[in-house]
Structure 1
Amino acid sequence: MKTTQGLPYLTKKKSRGRTYWYFRRAEGYIRLPDPDAPDFLAKYDAAKRGVSLVPTTARTWQTLIASYRQSPAWKDLAPRTKRDYEKVLEWAIATMPGKDPSRMMQPHIVMARDANQHRRRFANYIVQVLGILFAHAIEKGWMTHNPAKGVKLLRKPRGEAEVHGPWAADVIAAYRAAAPIGSSERTAFELSLGLSQRIGDTIKLRWDQWGPDGFEIQQSKTGTALTIPPTDTLAAYLNQIERGTATIVTGARVGAMTYSGVCSRFVIARAAAVQAALDAGDERLAARIKASTQHGLRYTVAHQMAEAGIPDNEISAVTGHKTLAMLRKYAGAARQKAHAKAGQSKRNESEKGTDE
């Protein structure tokens, strides 16, 4: 390596196991090539003379976000993930116009998170997406550290019920009674319960994706390719409905259904199930039906499989979850219940042996 001794304003930083070189002066940082590069001294000299200093005013959230949207990292994201990120990108531009991201410190991120704590998921997305933007700024040479690193995400308050809880057997039966066989709301329901995929992927399923080994699915959010055999219940349902169009979930007139269309039909069917429970005098069942969600069906599958003692790797092979932490979020309560039941059963057997 060429010697760097005696070169003023030269500094280096390590990030993700790599060493980056910068020319640092009051005006800011300028990214330099490695000292072994043939153009190192030329670029160092230009930076020293102020030829290539980037004006601080050019470092705004608008320019950083525009650059990130052109990066390979952004282009590799799934469409669903891009839509989620866009909410934070638009928030950043609207709330911090003209501000320099490199001047942002960790307390500012904590303040932004806490200002949005009434919508916890978005507040946590602010921390996560800003962290990604800061990492991009580091690559551009705007800054040398990531102020979002170490900022804790907001946790669900103790005692607060899960928004998307698993469906109980009587709630499933009530919904089936309210949603006619062959309707889009019933077909989407059966596919969701049988295959445990997100509703956006479920409504896109085609008949030709169902092969000898099961449904060939590529998750839009993660890009994960899965082959999932249908349950016997799902296969029996699909074999009794018409195959009028390429997609399995269809509307009465327009063919393939949209996300909002299926959600609207789901709400109507759920309301009918709630009313039926009220008419039968079962207010508790009506309340549980009303609290059920489409995404809760995905929890239901993981819950049912965990309760049956199915290993985590087999559950994730169906749900497509890549991390153990996320799988625990879906199946943790059922897994605890199954383990507790098994433990207490062994305890009872042990006590019987002692009594004898």
Structure 2
Amino acid sequence: MAHRIKREFPGITAYFDRHQKRRYRFRKKGFSTEIHGEYGSDDFCRNYERAVRGYRSQEIGAPATKRGTINALIVSYYKSPEFISLKDSTKSTYRREIERLREEHGHRVVKQMKRQHVIKLLESFTDRPSARNNRLRMLRMLMNHSVEIGWTTSNPTTGIKKMRTNANGFHTWTEGELKRFFEYYKAGSVAHTAVMLMLHTACARSDVVKLGWQNLKGGRLQYQRQKTEGVSTVLIDIPLHPELREVLDRLPRDKLTFLETRSGQSRSANGLGTAMRKWCNDAGLSKCAAHGLRKACATRLAEAGATEREIMAWTGHTSPTMVQVYAGKARRGLLADHGFEKLLKNEQGSKFDEPKTKGSTK
């Protein structure tokens, strides 16, 4: 049951999640965001101040907006239940693209937006398919919101197709690249620990930075995926790989998380991503990134003969579609090998079944 905390943090509401863990949220006039950290801690205070600044900047910007413009539509969308219910990390991602759109086209009148205008707004991204698709996605969400609040009767982005992009997505680390990385970063380094964790757990960056000794239960690693938290319950419960166990056993037991910063703070997902980019570049692995390790783990499982459902138990996917993307090549290769074995077996059997030719002797 939620209740308001009447102390030095106005606007803070405390509540218990489904695991009976106490959490905090800042709410004020439609603005809402999660406040992470123990109540009153330095981390909590920093997050609270950031939330207050976010609320004030929104309130300051709202009166200055011209009614009926994309700028005003964005202000309305930020207050909508759809946006408020998003995770903070997702909000940050959306805001980056939406604010670019606001800066370039915030003055445009929403009612005047037609299909040809949307296409015009996407023209400058033609040579960058992913960027174009992101812009189209944000426009689509904003115009859907416009329909919902009665500003327009139809969405001009309907029927505009996304551009085709690289279907393979992030590069999957090869065994040779893993060997090179581990030759460059020896056991005991944060870089080595981070890669071993992601490689042997299929963890995403947002999950791996939160892992600690509390997630180890009798030789197994258990955690709930952050991406699905609040939407659905996806509990990962996987055995601990012996090589990963060796790495973790070298870490102090008083660490809050396995990948703490030098100052003893939990590392952020973006911070890990930045560090991974530097580690990979320094090791001469410019194609490699953190997400490719998640795919490498899925690929290894596929090559070992794991089924799609078994791989999903590691990655936390609720549909086999993404598993096919992550480990599709390995699965196809494995199936090809199995098919080839059946072909050879059939051909060998056919030789023994051939009818004897005329004049043959016993």
Q: TM-score by structure 2 length?
A: 0.70
- Matched to 1:120, the amino acid is P
2:344 paired residue among 322, 326, 348: 348
Q: CA shift at 1:331, angstroms?
A: 1.9
1:239 paired residue among 246, 249, 259: 249
Quote the Cα distance in structure 2 between the aligned partners of 1:293 and 1:115: 27
Quote the Cα distance in structure 1 between the aligned partners of 2:249 and 2:94: 39
Do 1:61 and 1:93's aligned partners in 2 also have CA atoms closer than 8 Å? yes
Q: CA shift at 1:260, angstroms?
A: 5.5
Name the SS for the 1:256 alignment partner. coil
User: Aligned in 2, Cα 1:70/1:214: closer, same or farther, shift over 3 Å?
Assistant: farther
Quote the Cα distance in structure 1 between the aligned partners of 2:213 and 2:343: 49
1:76 aligns with 2:107: no
User: Aligned in 2, Cα 1:259/1:127: closer, same or farther, shift over 3 Å?
Assistant: same
Q: Number of aligned pairs?
A: 283
Quote the Cα distance in structure 1 between the aligned partners of 2:226 and 2:92: 12
- Matched to 1:171, the amino acid is E
Q: CA shift at 1:129, angstroms?
A: 1.9
Aligned pairs (5 A) from 1:41-120:
58-120=67-129
After superposition, what is the alpha-carbon deviation per residue over 1:160-201, rounded to whole angstroms, capped at 9, x for unaligned? x95622222222122122212222111111111122122232
Gaps (5+ residues) in structure 2? 1-65, 353-362
After superposition, what is the alpha-carbon deviation per residue over 1:287-316, rounded to whole angstroms, capped at 9, x for unaligned? xx4422221101112222222332222222
Name the SS for the 2:236 alignment partner. strand
**Which stretch shifts more, 195-204 or 318-327?**
318-327
Name the SS for the 1:251 alignment partner. coil
1:166 aligns with 2:172: yes
Q: CA shift at 1:231, angstroms?
A: 2.5
Quote the Cα distance in structure 1 between the aligned partners of 2:221 and 2:198: 13
- Matched to 1:245, the amino acid is K
Gaps (5+ residues) in structure 1? 1-56, 275-288
User: Aligned in 2, Cα 1:138/1:202: closer, same or farther, shift over 3 Å?
Assistant: same
Partner of 1:266: 276
User: Aligned in 2, Cα 1:252/1:337: closer, same or farther, shift over 3 Å?
Assistant: same
Do 2:251 and 2:258's aligned partners in 1 also have CA atoms closer than 8 Å? no
- Matched to 2:303, the amino acid is E
User: Aligned in 2, Cα 1:310/1:110: closer, same or farther, shift over 3 Å?
Assistant: farther
Quote the Cα distance in structure 1 between the aligned partners of 2:145 and 2:93: 18
Q: CA shift at 1:203, angstroms?
A: 1.7
Partner of 1:53: none
Quote the Cα distance in structure 1 between the aligned partners of 2:219 and 2:128: 42
How well do the aligned residues superpose, as a CA RMSD in angstroms? 2.5
Q: CA shift at 1:70, angstroms?
A: 0.9
Quote the Cα distance in structure 2 between the aligned partners of 1:200 and 1:298: 12
Aligned pairs (5 A) from 1:1-356:
58-156=67-165, 162=168, 164-212=170-218, 214-223=220-229, 225-229=234-238, 230-259=240-269, 261-263=271-273, 265-271=275-281, 273-274=283-284, 289-356=285-352
After superposition, what is the alpha-carbon deviation per residue over 1:320-339, rounded to whole angstroms, capped at 9, x for unaligned? 22444333221222222211
User: Aligned in 2, Cα 1:91/1:81: closer, same or farther, shift over 3 Å?
Assistant: same
Identity rate of aligned residues, in percent? 27
**Which stretch shifts more, 241-250 or 134-143?**
241-250
Quote the Cα distance in structure 2 between the aligned partners of 1:213 and 1:61: 53
- Matched to 2:114, the amino acid is M
User: Aligned in 2, Cα 1:266/1:346: closer, same or farther, shift over 3 Å?
Assistant: same
After superposition, what is the alpha-carbon deviation per residue over 1:50-72, rounded to whole angstroms, capped at 9, x for unaligned? xxxxxxx6211111111111111
User: Aligned in 2, Cα 1:100/1:272: closer, same or farther, shift over 3 Å?
Assistant: closer
Q: CA shift at 1:219, angstroms?
A: 3.1
User: Aligned in 2, Cα 1:126/1:273: closer, same or farther, shift over 3 Å?
Assistant: closer
Do 2:130 and 2:165's aligned partners in 1 also have CA atoms closer than 8 Å? no
Do 1:116 and 1:123's aligned partners in 2 also have CA atoms closer than 8 Å? yes
Do 1:250 and 1:256's aligned partners in 2 also have CA atoms closer than 8 Å? yes
User: Aligned in 2, Cα 1:268/1:136: closer, same or farther, shift over 3 Å?
Assistant: closer
User: Aligned in 2, Cα 1:156/1:265: closer, same or farther, shift over 3 Å?
Assistant: closer
